[in-house]
Amino acid sequence: MKTVLIDCSPKKKLSASGFIAGFTSLFVMGEKKKEKLRTKADWSRVLDAVADADNVVFSMPLYVDGVPSHILPFLKEMELRRRENSPDMNVYVIANNGFIEGKQNEPLMQTMEHFCERSGIRWGGGLGIGGGVMMNVMRIMLLVYLALAVFRFVAAGILGSWQAGPWIVFGKQTAAILLLCCGIIAFDIWLACRINQRKEYGKHYTRIMLPSFVFILCADLFFIILSVIQGGIFRGWFSRKKPTRMTN
Amino acid sequence: MRLLIHDRSEEFSQTMKGKFDQVIYADGKYAPCQGCFHCWTKSPAACEMKDALQEICRVIGQADDLTIITENWYGGYSPAVKNLLDRSIGTSTPMSTYRGREMHHTLRYGKHHQWRVVVYGDTTDGEKKTWALTAKKNAINDGFQQSEVSFVTDLNELEANAL
């Protein structure tokens, strides 16, 4: 059984879609291939990879309530190719969005379902993740916590007392992150199991396990920090800027 | 301001000029959104990519009534129109709030009146349902108070349906 997992994010690095695709692949059995679909230059490589695949998993971000525009022409090309062959392929979708509600991925899921109908490909189902962007923040935090634990452990050792304290703190921090992601992890492993069985998963929606008002505060803080890193803050964040030139 | 966005042709733009305050032909000759959020944080309400869509969010932000004419692609917008919409998220700000009982970004340009979509091309019943949902969600997302979708099978009817 061959499964191709496609990261459909346009980002070159630190893509949440790529991370989730990679995480899913840990639980998928048989031959696995991970692909990146950013530009048209990737098309022929990805189309070759999916040509003889039993399962294809599209992992993508939600853009303006739908499939990102750069993926649509690829889907059309895939539809044309699959019509020429006799497809025995299951398509699964993992969609993540920046809002807390996983359910906001519903129009994207339906679009991918229609793509399957028109292409004669079996729709395997999809997982919609709310707060998917936070997965990126959490994996970075996990690495920072690990580095701090190593530093504290070594520093204490050099001073003459090797202690388990830093590792206990790291264990608690890891547990907290796993708790916040427990819905995503559980639904994702379930999806991988259905892929392994080549059975329909249905549509399921999950989220980061935070109350929405706390998530909103976290998201606001994230953008403030991002803005500071990018060179300043509140440079007309809220101003109603008017066009300075004609569009078309 | 009444704004029309379509994916037909330059000639169609000429036909519709005068009937709308501004007409934009989504010709697809531009780069897709890179998901960098710079139109929120680094250069608010302007995309970093210096092409025809650099200030598209400012144009959409001025619209009271927005009409979109698009070919049906799996129950969603054509790539050229979707590309334009993906590049327009600067109509909102990076800060979040609740709207329609869901989390959304706060609006840079306040509330608008109507988000209308005129869909042409072969469309299944299932795709029509997806269109209704998508237009409703788009309207909530961008602060439009109403959404409406109509379907056209004869291309000669496009103009009449758009008005």
Q: Is B141 left (phi over 0), alpha (psi -120 to 50) or beta?
A: alpha
User: Closest Cα of chain A to B60: distance in Å?
Assistant: 10
pLDDT of residue B67: 97
Candidates A75, A114, A231; nearest CB to B127 = A114
CATH number of A2-136+183-229: 3.40.50.360
Instruction: Give the type of residue at B130.
Output: T
Yes or no, beta carbons of A114 and B37 under 8 Å apart = no
| Whether A248 contacts chain B with CB within 8 A | yes
Yes or no, beta carbons of A231 and B42 under 8 Å apart = yes
Yes or no, beta carbons of A241 and B46 under 8 Å apart = yes
Candidates B23, B35, B85; nearest CB to A10 = B35
Q: Is the ipTM, as predicted for this complex, more than 0.85?
A: yes
| Whether B103 contacts chain A with CB within 8 A | yes
Listed as ranges, residues in chain B with pLDDT below 50 are: none
pLDDT of residue A129: 98
pLDDT of residue A237: 79
Give yes or no for a contact between B118 and B158, defined as CB atoms under 8 angstroms apart: yes
Pick the residue from chain B with its C-alpha nearest to A133.
B35
Listed as ranges, residues in chain A with pLDDT below 50 are: none
Yes or no, beta carbons of B103 and A240 under 8 Å apart = no
Yes or no, beta carbons of A104 and B102 under 8 Å apart = yes
Give yes or no for a contact between B117 and B78, defined as CB atoms under 8 angstroms apart: no
| Whether B134 contacts chain A with CB within 8 A | yes
- Please name the residue that has the structure tokens 């959409």: B60
| Whether A69 contacts chain B with CB within 8 A | yes
pLDDT of residue A88: 87
User: What are the DSSP calls for chain A, one per residue?
Assistant: -EEEEEE--S-SSS-HHHHHHHHHHTT--SEEEEEE--SGGGHHHHHHHHHT-SEEEEEEE-BTTB--GGGHHHHHHHHHHHHHS----EEEEEEEESSS-GGGGHHHHHHHHHHHHHHTPEEEEEEEEETTHHHHHHHHHHHHHHHHHHHHHHHHHHTT---SHHHHHHHHHHHHHHHHTHHHHHHHHHHHHHHHHT---EEEEEE-SS-HHHHHHHHHHHHHHHHHHTT-S-SSSS--PPPSS---
pLDDT of residue A86: 63
| Whether B115 contacts chain A with CB within 8 A | no
Q: Give the contacts of A9 (CB within 8 A, at least 6 positions apart).
A: A15, A16, A17, A18, A38, A59, A60, A61, A68, B35
Domains and CATH numbers, chain B: 2-162 (3.40.50.360)
Residues composing chain A:
248
Chain B residues near residue A223 by CB distance under 8 angstroms = 37, 40-41, 94-95
| Whether B126 contacts chain A with CB within 8 A | yes
pLDDT of residue A248: 61
pLDDT per residue over B96-116, tens digit each?
999 989 999 999 999 999 999
User: Closest Cα of chain B to A110: distance in Å?
Assistant: 6
Yes or no, beta carbons of B134 and A100 under 8 Å apart = no
